[in-house]
Structure 1
Amino acid sequence: MAADPSPTPKAKGPASYFPSIERTYGRPVEEWLDLVRARGPEAHMATVSWLKAEHGLGHGHANALVAHVRAEAPGA
């Protein structure tokens, strides 16, 4: 059987930032997502600000992590 010639689909939305987050900050993205999950139902921008202030993430990376976790929540 021949190999599937179609390319692997690229991640879209917040997940498209994950490879860059791992390269830039040297931690698996799942660690970052767990940190965001642990913050609970805090406001989106409060969590983004915390990631930037406490962990040195850029705004786009922090926002992508928070958006991804918020999208996991039921009713999101």
Structure 2
Amino acid sequence: MAGEPVKGPASYFPSIEKKYGKPIAEWIALVRSRMPAKHMELVAMLKNEHGMGHGHANAVVAYTLAD
């Protein structure tokens, strides 16, 4: 429904874009380029190779894998 706040992993997207300077589509594409891989392997990649915090990395991966 229009006007309802975004919930779940996507609720992190505005802060991820602001903090890390890339549109969320680029982060999703990066995660997809590393598949197949386990959830936590993808989270670790975002954290170790791109300096993303755990919560933000987990949100991007969870959203991508659920899609």
TM-score, structure 1 as length reference: 0.83
For the residues of structure 1 that align with 2:18 and 2:24, how far apart are their CA atoms? 10
Which residue of the other structure, out of 16, 30, 34, is the alignment partner of 1:21? 16
Greater than 6 Å deviation, 4+ residue runs: none
Identity fraction in percent: 59
Which residue of the other structure, out of 8, 25, 32, is the alignment partner of 2:3? 8
Query: Greater relative contact order (Cα 8 A, min sep 6): structure 1 or 2?
Result: 2
Residue 45 of structure 1 corresponds to 40
The yes-or-no answer on 1:69 pairing with 2:64 is yes
For the residues of structure 1 that align with 2:10 and 2:36, how far apart are their CA atoms? 20
* Structure 1 residue runs without a partner (length 5+): 1-6
Asked which structure has the greater CA Rg, the reply is 1
Give the superposition deviation at 1:9.
Answer: 1.5
- Higher fraction of helix: 2
TM-score, structure 2 as length reference: 0.93
* Structure 2 residue runs without a partner (length 5+): none
For the aligned residue pairs, the C-alpha RMSD in angstroms reads: 1.0
